[in-house]
Chain A
Amino acid sequence: MKILVGYKRVVDYNVRIQVKPDGSGVVTDGVKLSANPFDDIALEEALRLREKGVAEEVIVVGIGPANLTAHLRNGLAMGANRAIHVTTEDAVQPLTAARVFLKLIEKEQPGLVILGKQAIDDDANQTGQMLAALWDRPQATFAGKVEIADGKATVTREVDAGLEVIEADLPAVITTDLRLNEPRFIKLPDIMKAKSKPIDVIEFGSLGVEAHDHLKTTHYAAPAKRSKGVMVKDAAELVAALKQKGLL
């Protein structure tokens, strides 16, 4: 089977972003961009399933501007067979992204779609669930362990109460949690090889997906700062301070 993997480019997780003083957005010019960490985990899982013989082909999918190509090449260097680049200059919200994926699913007929559980820029945690709903297929979100056999996926999900195991008939959508795997590093020869792998470029407008913004962001603000605290010299002083505040 084929596996489609969502591969979003986001501001690197180590960057401490700044809100523009006029509240119109966050500063992204000249800021380091990387693969969304959860998407690297998604790609790693797909590659491992191919290495186990469960899948034959792994396809990374990116939605974004023309210069997203370099990002998709990283996915190819990590090991994906090919890439699909849906080109648009506009930021795409989860519902639109899910509709784009559905169009690609109709075309590619994958047995599995693996996405990250959330993108670390918009922190929405929606696209996988929305795609599963539109596709009318199972979803296994927050996956910590995935086993594929006999046309079904057995997925251990990281839920608040502990670890939940569910069984889902394929095709299905899986979204990855942090502990699913440790993504591999890209090796130099693979970067060279990735240059000859195909990237299928599709114009967003040609997909017939409605492109309006479903939610309008009207203002950006920096979070409220906590006031500077005090250093205490020993345990006794700490306990006294907390007792005084009625906390102990």
Chain B
Amino acid sequence: MSKILVIAEHLGGKLNSSTARAVSAAAAIKGDAIDVLVLSDAPDAIAAEAAKIEGVSRVLTVAKPENAHPLAAVLAPQIAKAADGYSHVFAPSTTFGKDIAPRVAALLGVAQVSDVMSVEAAHTFNRPIYAGNAIITVEADANHTVVATIRTASWSAAASGANTAPVEALTIDVPLPTHTRFVELNQGSSDRPDLQSAAKVVSGGRGVGSKENFDIIYKFADKIGAAVGASRAAVDAGYCPNEMQVGQTGKIIAPELYMAIGISGAIQHLTGIKDAGTIVAINKDGEAPIFEVADFGLVGDLFKIIPELEAALG
């Protein structure tokens, strides 16, 4: 009965791991088919990657020069058209998916379920509200297409490699607007692991004190092969760029190891790390709320402790 269309997220010709996480949620529906839709100017390499993801039935590509950049106003009408015959349309709950999915839902005249954490049944989902301080169970109308975004931190990426799903080119004839145009993307260049998919994350907060001091966080992260994150306070103070922000209004992550250094642990920050495997807090204030969620806590000066940690690692 259920046929699920997963919208692929990609950048620079590469599939984003958020797509395989959305496929995991689609698999939890236990439906008849999971198709992945790749909209791009050059979808072939991305589609080939998507075809390897376990559980994927088919990969559908829409190649248009207008799809070179992910503009919601351009992609949404194509997705709405491609959604015909599907019971579910899933997108990852990243800035890409959050931008596009509600536009698709409105075009289809249906509600959207945001940030699906778990699937109870084909039309019943759990999602967080109030910055993750309550979890609600919501039922979508079974007579309509379910449009949902998938909370990436709640789902592990579906395995990749063994599958060989067929790739089919789709022709979608819908008028595309020209009222919205891409100008540029300024990426924070980084050789470090991606924050949202990294197994280890080291984050710094206001306690780090300055942009220059943040080097100690980068250096330590590199030593243990971790991605680097930051609290809102550190971003607002200009210590690091905004795409590093972890929390309700930044990225929501679930690494195996999360180390919060010089972060007090405001509700908004904790929302972003609640699902981490092991949380370590290093803070000079023993009363900081971060210690309430930390598996291991160490009270002291981070500028003294980090070199000691590096020494202990050998």
On A, residues with C-beta under 8 Å from B are 11, 13, 16-17, 19, 26, 93-95, 98, 117, 120-134, 136-142, 144, 154, 157-169, 172, 177-179, 214-223, 226, 229-236, 238-242, 245, 247-248
Contact = CB atoms under 8 A, between A and B. Distances in A.
Given A94-B112, A231-B297, A231-B298, A160 B131 contact: no
B295 A230 contact: yes
B200 interface: yes
B99 A129 contact: yes
Given A134-B106, A235-B298, A139 B72 contact: yes
A131 B139 CA distance: 23
Given A217-B137, A236-B308, A144 B242 contact: yes
B183 A166 contact: yes
B135 A95 contact: no
Contact of A162 (B130, B136, B186): B186
B103 A130 contact: yes
A95 B309 contact: no
15 contacts: A123-B114, A123-B130, A133-B76, A136-B177, A139-B73, A140-B180, A141-B98, A158-B243, A163-B243, A164-B185, A178-B232, A223-B132, A229-B297, A235-B305, A238-B296
Contact of B295 (A120, A163, A229): A229
Contacts of B95: 141-142, 157-160
Nearest to A212: B141
Contacts of A230: 295-297
A219 B278 contact: no
Interface stretch (B32-40, B52-60, B161-169, B249-257): B249-257
Contacts of A179: 235-236, 242
Nearest to B137: A219
A27 B235 CA distance: 33
Contacts of B312: 235-236, 238-240
Interface residues of B, number: 87
A161 B96 CA distance: 10
Interface of B: 11, 71-73, 76, 94-96, 98-107, 109-115, 124, 128-141, 177, 179-188, 196, 200, 224, 232, 235-236, 241-243, 248-249, 251, 256-257, 267-268, 274, 277-280, 291, 293-300, 305, 308-309, 311-313
Contacts of A241: 296
Contacts of A132: 72-73, 103
Contacts of A98: 106
Nearest to A169: B179
A162 B11 CA distance: 12
Nearest to A179: B242
A131 B72 CA distance: 13
A138 B73 contact: yes
B294 A229 contact: yes
Q: Which of B128, B130, B279, B298 is the most central at the interface, judged by chain A CB atoms within 10 Å of its CB?
A: B130
B88 to A, nearest CB: 14
Nearest to A218: B137
Contacts of B296: 229-232, 238, 241-242
Given A125-B102, A132-B103, A133-B102, A167 B136 contact: no
A232 B300 CA distance: 11
A232 B241 CA distance: 32
Contacts of B256: 247
A221 B134 contact: yes
A220 B132 CA distance: 12
Contacts of B295: 226, 229-230
A205 to B, nearest CB: 20
Nearest to B132: A223
Q: Which of B179, B184, B188 is the most central at the interface, judged by chain A CB atoms within 10 Å of its CB?
A: B179
B72 A129 contact: yes
Given A121-B129, A219-B136, A229-B279, A129 B236 contact: no
A123 B243 contact: no
Given A129-B103, A161-B185, A223-B134, 5 more contacts: A129-B72, A159-B96, A167-B181, A214-B110, A232-B297
A160 B115 contact: no
A26 B135 CA distance: 10
A208 B99 CA distance: 28
B103 A133 contact: yes
B138 A216 contact: yes
Contact of B99 (A120, A134, A141, A154): A141
